[in-house]
């Protein structure tokens, strides 16, 4: 089945770099939008960063820019600003995640763009949001994991505060922005006028902590560092087994709690006043964990996972990432898309690699990226030609260093 392309005909000016913005625009490309990645002549900084490479290009860049076109232009130059004006006159969306205020000098901030090109829906991703005393600060995933409170509940007393192992605030802010852009675009179809869509790492962090923050607001108590455990439920976390770890969500309801006890051979626990309800189990979490692990450490993880599955209690082993790449469930979802680095895009040598697809499907159809990430300036000549520049003018701009044309 051919993948749906609901955004076919939508043109996006992608002024993003690093993770959050690039992730948002790559998902738009998978939905059929034409995404023109606007890069400085030196390229997106992620082209040169990271430790792994595919076809000579950074895997960081390759993982975040599939399916895009590359227009390399110096918009600090007057001629480069004219290129940007022509491009924006034909765009529906603009997405950026620059330091707040840094694009104003180039006429690419929201107010300037909206005044000249009112049709554009403008997506802006920042660390702290676009208002408030911290709005002008730049922000990275690590920094906002700390500032948002995520790290205050991640880790253990032994480890101290720990960051989540992947840049989930970056990815979440990108997803938030993409969602807002789609809503803004629908509104523009009604009104003819674009709007500003603001997303931030801080706001996504707060959203992720929503139930925890609501509880703290009522109780006034900090949950603290609970390792894999939950501040609201027990048993709900990681437990030692004979050969490793089992993650169990045995407190989704009181019925589930009783089923978990039966499956573990601990039928006496529901009658113990220390474990009689959710509040009591959370208050006596250490004693509960000791009782459960005394049983779990008698058998391997797989034994207990099957028993809990049979009892209708969610449980899982902790998979390594290499194992996840080969997991049949991931293959069934079509979550990994093979691409060729260097064949038609970035990278100087032909090499295969995989990129993670969008975390959703339409009509049960896997959404795919229309091609590999672009080489720097790969599409400069074609984009400028579409904007009305004749070949000799494009060559003049390239000779002057205003654009890079591969």
- Both tokens of 63, joined, read 């993982």
Q: How far apart are CA 224 and CA 145, in angstroms?
A: 15
CA dihedral of 175, 177, 181, 182, whole degrees rounded to 10: 20
Look at the alpha carbons of 171, 176, 178, 179 in this order and tell me if their dihedral is positive or negative. Answer: positive
Check residue 249 and give left, alpha or beta (phi > 0: left; psi -120 to 50: alpha): beta
Instruction: Count the helices and strands in the chain (H runs, E runs).
Output: 16, 16
CB burial string 312-339: b at 16+ within 10 A, e below: ebebebeeeeeeeeeeeeeeeeebebeb
- pLDDT, average across residues 331-347: 80
Q: Which residues pair with 207 in a beta bridge?
A: none
**How does residue 306 score in pLDDT terms, banded at 50, 70 and 90?**
very high
Q: 363-376: per-residue pLDDT in tens?
A: 999 999 999 999 99
* 178 Cβ neighbours under 8 A, 6+ residues apart: 24, 27, 28, 123
- pLDDT, average across residues 180-190: 98
Q: 212-261: per-residue pLDDT in tens?
A: 999 999 999 999 998 888 888 899 999 999 999 999 998 889 999 999 99
Q: 258-303: per-residue pLDDT in tens?
A: 999 999 999 999 999 999 999 999 999 999 999 999 999 999 999 9
Q: 133-172: per-residue pLDDT in tens?
A: 999 998 999 999 999 999 999 998 899 999 999 999 999 9
Determine if the pTM surpasses 0.85: yes
**How does residue 343 score in pLDDT terms, banded at 50, 70 and 90?**
low
Q: How far apart are CA 363 and CA 194, in angstroms?
A: 29
* Residue 74: predicted pLDDT: 97
Q: How far apart are CA 42 and CA 124, in angstroms?
A: 23
* Residue 350: predicted pLDDT: 61
CB 325, CB 259: distance < 8 Å: no
List the single range of 42-46, 235-239, 257-261, 349-353 with lowest mean pLDDT.
349-353
User: Three-state DSSP class for 248?
Assistant: strand
Q: Does 170 qualify as catalytic in the annotation?
A: yes
Percent with pLDDT over 70 in the chain: 97
CB 121, CB 195: distance < 8 Å: yes
Residue written as tokens 């993770």?
A: 19
* Residue 1: predicted pLDDT: 65
Residue 344: pLDDT over 70: no
Which structural domains are found in the chain, ordered by start? 11-207+334-404 (3.40.50.10540), 236-321 (3.30.1540.10)
Which residue of the set 44, 141, 170, 379 is catalytic?
170
- pLDDT, average across residues 321-334: 96
Task: Give, for 288, the enclosing helix (H) or strand (E).
Answer: helix 285-296
Q: Which residues pair with 237 in a beta bridge?
A: 248
Q: 57-114: per-residue pLDDT in tens?
A: 899 999 999 999 999 999 999 999 999 999 999 999 999 999 888 999 999 999 999 9
* Residue 20: predicted pLDDT: 97
């Amino acid at each position: 089945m051919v993948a749906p392309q609901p955004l076919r005909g939508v043109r996006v000016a992608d002024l993003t770099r690093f993770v959050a913005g690039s992730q948002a625009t790559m998902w738009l490309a998978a939905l059929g939008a034409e995404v023109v990645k606007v890069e400085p002549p030196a390229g997106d900084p992620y082209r040169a960063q990271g430790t792994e490479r595919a076809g000579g290009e950074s895997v960081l860049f390759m993982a975040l820019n599939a399916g895009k076109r590359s227009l390399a232009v110096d918009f600090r130059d007057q001629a480069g600003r004219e290129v940007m004006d022509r491009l924006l006159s034909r765009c529906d969306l603009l997405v950026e995640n620059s330091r707040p205020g840094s694009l104003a000098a180039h006429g690419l901030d929201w107010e300037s763009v909206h005044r000249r090109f009112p049709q554009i829906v403008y997506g802006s991703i920042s660390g702290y949001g676009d208002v408030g005393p911290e709005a002008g600060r730049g922000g990275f995933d690590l920094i906002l994991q700390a500032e948002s409170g995520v790290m205050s509940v991640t880790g253990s007393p032994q480890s101290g505060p720990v960051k989540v192992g992947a840049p989930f605030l970056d990815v979440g802010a990108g997803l938030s922005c993409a969602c807002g852009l789609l809503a803004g675009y629908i509104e523009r179809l009604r009104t003819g006028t674009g709007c500003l869509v603001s997303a931030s790492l801080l706001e996504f962090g707060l959203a992720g902590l929503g139930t925890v923050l609501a509880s703290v607001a009522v109780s006034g108590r900090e949950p603290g560092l609970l390792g894999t455990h939950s501040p609201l439920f027990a048993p709900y976390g990681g437990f030692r087994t004979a050969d490793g770890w089992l993650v169990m969500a045995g407190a989704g309801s009181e019925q589930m709690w009783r089923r978990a006890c039966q499956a573990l051979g601990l039928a006496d626990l529901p009658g113990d006043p220390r474990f009689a309800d959710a509040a009591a189990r959370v208050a006596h979490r250490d004693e509960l964990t000791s009782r459960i692990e005394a049983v779990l450490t008698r058998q391997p993880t797989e034994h207990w996972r099957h028993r809990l599955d049979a009892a209708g209690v969610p449980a899982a082993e902790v998979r390594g990432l290499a194992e996840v790449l080969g997991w049949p469930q991931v293959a069934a979802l079509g979550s990994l898309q093979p691409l060729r680095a260097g064949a038609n895009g970035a990278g100087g040598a032909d090499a295969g690699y995989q990129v993670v697809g969008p975390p959703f499907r339409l009509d049960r159809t896997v959404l795919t990226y229309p091609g590999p990430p672009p080489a720097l300036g790969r599409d400069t000549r074609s984009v400028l030609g579409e904007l009305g520049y004749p070949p000799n003018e494009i060559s003049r701009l390239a000779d002057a260093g205003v654009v890079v044309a591969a």
